Structure 1
Amino acid sequence: MAAQKLLLLPGDGIGPEVMGEVRRVLAAIEAKGLLSFEIDEDLVGGCAYDAHGKAISDEAVAKAHAADAVLLGAVGGPKWDGVPYEHRPEAGLLRLRKDLELFANLRPAICYPALADSSALKRELVDGLDIVIVRELTGGVYFGEPKEITDLPNGQKRAVDTQVYETYEIERIAKVAFELARVRGNRVTSAEKRNVMKSGLLWNQVVTATHKSGYEDVKLDHMLADALGMQLVRAPKQFDVIVTDNLFGDILSDVASMLTGSLGMLPSASLGAEDASGRRKALYEPVHGSAPDIAGQGVANPLAMIASLAMALKYSLGKPEIADTLDRAIAGVLADGLRTGDIWTEGSTRVGTAEMGQAVVAKFEQLLAA
């Protein structure tokens, strides 16, 4: 069995703690003879700045290019608030996305039945929720130029960020959304602000044209991004796949996270284009941040990091059946009443990071043996 090459980038804050539980799951997968791994590790974020003076080294980026999949924990924290803008911890993540051409960010928002009462919304609105936000990741206002703060003659300052999209960028992310919808509920909702933004008008036009070019079997709706945000908290189960740009995808996926009960529950996948062999460059990470206030205490929720590994098994390592078993193990542990502090409710059992990881591995092994 050829070894799968993984690059682990634990990062800052709770990143190393939740990545430790991924290592535990990887060891269990290997022990069962399901896959073999060649694992490397490097620095990203604030810890990389401390070591190298920048948020990710060229050597780490080269390792990412060579890997079958990259798993990243979290970056950032107040310790690095004063570093130069171009070297802030998040710059390491942005460089990985840009250099690996990871243009499609998939953010599932799944409400496990055991956590429906932990959602910010009523149970009936979220029980059974299963949506995916497909976010364009390498264009838009985060990367557009000019991006600057300039001094004006009158003593004022002017800040400029530029929202830029070209046709091909919108076409390829729309295709990802349509193809994903075909194996789900067959519905796509495209979100933009065509009423006030030229980039939104082009987005709407290109998504519509792409739909007509071979995806008319998929139901397509268009919705203004602000209205979609309102609908996410009014009736979220009306959605299946949501496709949107970089900025709105960032905002809407965080809104969706609170429907599930906790940011600590949400994984993500950032995918590049398929090569001739059908492989994609890919980066997998939890949606949550580095949570420096609880770092080192052993109380962080590792489930989003483990679920990100499940996405890697599905999209990069060619093992959807193992991914499904791992997802069922997470659901089973939650059904058993185990909770880290962020999702704890009266009557459930509070556990720490390592205990949760151990429980997922035990449930995973139990399901494999069934």
Structure 2
Amino acid sequence: MPANKKLLFLPGDGIGPEVMRQVRRVIDWMDRKRKVTFDVTEGLVGGAAIDAHGTPLTDATLADALAADAVMLGAVGGPKWDNPSDYMKRPEAGLLRLRKELGLFANLRPATVFDALVDASTLKPEIIKGLDIMIVRELTGGVYFGEPRGIEDLPNGERRGVNTQVYTTSEIRRVASVAFELARKRSNKVHSMEKANVMESGLLWRQEVTKLHQEQYSDVTLEHMYADNGAMQLLKNPKQFDVIVTDNLFGDILSDEAAMMTGSLGMLPSASLGAADANGNRKALYEPVHGSAPDIAGKDLANPCATLLSFAMALRYSFNLDDDAKTLEKAVQNVLAGGMRTADIMAPGMARCSTTVMGDSILRELDKLSS
């Protein structure tokens, strides 16, 4: 079968290359066993790109990303590149540029608790068991990008930092549409979170989400919740939620909270999606939630599951290979249920393994599931 699925690999820094290597192995397996072929190219991003080219993202790599059907990213950053003299020479600036240039406005972060890892959460098992929620975070607007911004000197000798929270109707409606569409394929319920009680941008958010719901998604249950109450409810009764949609700042905070409820950042994938074109295709970037973990880089200790689950999201959202995505997710679940653990999710009585051995185990499970 000719390769017509264009995938750009950006392994990045730290443990990024190690965990991305396991995705390569799954792609090779799919080529052999499923006859699904990807045209894979590879580039540099973050600190690796700074070392090679003096910039965290070259124009050539950006062009490759724009030409790809999807981008798989490992991780960026590390102490080697901390405190640059030029703010735009940070490794993270490469990721931010990718998101901006690809128009990736919707960040999808599932928080799923596998039965085998219920005890890894700090919450009681009866609260967390079976949790499966999706947080949709607006990614290109809000206080992180609003103008004016900066730090200024005041006449009285003090300094003032300014960031502006700003949203437009179109920015709100497009990310809310993603949430409603996802909910239709899940449990058909959306919670929209903001601070409409004290912020005009939050009031506009609530008004526009309500209007869109009435116009196009009245079949989906919609509930509004103040974001601070949402943070409390995530800990009190997380299974009341299905899809949560919120702005950039609150989404950053709430998705991190939901992530830690599951027990390990090493298990959590994410997807960042752009607008659909005339054929329904979207620019997309997939990456694990965890960072570059420079302290264990090169030691074959990293948990590859979040990156493999991010690839499963790519199979589902970019390549319409839902059955293959489910198979990969099931393989990860089965390996965990069998007691295999990397150090970050190790528990008494389990078998501690390396990055490579975890990959080996998942490939064997894929063989079993496809036989």
1:22 equivalenced with 2:10 (yes/no)? no
Give the deviation of 1:153 after TM superposition.
Answer: 2.4
CA distance in 2 between partners of 1:244 and 1:346 (Å): 38
1:231 matched to which residue of 2? 233
* 1:31-65: CA deviation from partner (whole Å, max 9, x where unpaired): 11431111111111111122222211111110000
TM-score by length of 1: 0.98
1:242 equivalenced with 2:249 (yes/no)? no
1:157 matched to which residue of 2? 159
When the two chains are superposed, the root-mean-square deviation of aligned CA atoms in Å is 1.0
Amino acid at match of 1:40: T
Give the deviation of 1:255 after TM superposition.
Answer: 0.5
2:268 matched to which residue of 1? 266
Map residues 42-191 of structure 1 onto 2, 5 A cutoff.
42-83=43-84, 84-191=86-193
Name the stretch that deviates more: 247-256 or 138-147: 138-147
Give the deviation of 1:155 after TM superposition.
Answer: 2.5
How high is the sequence identity, in percent, across the aligned residues?
A: 63
Give the deviation of 1:261 after TM superposition.
Answer: 1.3
2:204 matched to which residue of 1? 202
Unpaired segments of 5 or more residues in structure 1?
none
- In structure 1, the residue corresponding to 2:10 is in which secondary structure? strand
Amino acid at match of 1:19: M
Name the stretch that deviates more: 26-35 or 235-244: 26-35
Map residues 298-313 of structure 1 onto 2, 5 A cutoff.
298-313=300-315
Give the deviation of 1:102 after TM superposition.
Answer: 0.8
CA distance in 1 between partners of 2:245 and 2:35 (Å): 34
Name the stretch that deviates more: 289-298 or 7-16: 289-298
Count of residues in correspondence between the two structures: 369
Unpaired segments of 5 or more residues in structure 2?
none
List structure 1 segments (4+ residues) > 4 angstroms apart after TM superposition. none
Give the deviation of 1:156 after TM superposition.
Answer: 2.0
CA distance in 2 between partners of 1:297 and 1:155 (Å): 50
Amino acid at match of 1:44: V
2:293 matched to which residue of 1? 291
1:193 equivalenced with 2:192 (yes/no)? no
1:2 equivalenced with 2:8 (yes/no)? no
* 1:235-264: CA deviation from partner (whole Å, max 9, x where unpaired): 111100000011111111110011211011
- In structure 2, the residue corresponding to 1:128 is in which secondary structure? coil
Give the deviation of 1:198 after TM superposition.
Answer: 1.2
CA distance in 2 between partners of 1:34 and 1:262 (Å): 33
Amino acid at match of 1:2: P
1:31 equivalenced with 2:20 (yes/no)? no
Give the deviation of 1:160 after TM superposition.
Answer: 1.2
Of 199, 217, 220, the match for 1:218: 220
TM-score by length of 2: 0.98
CA distance in 2 between partners of 1:186 and 1:79 (Å): 46
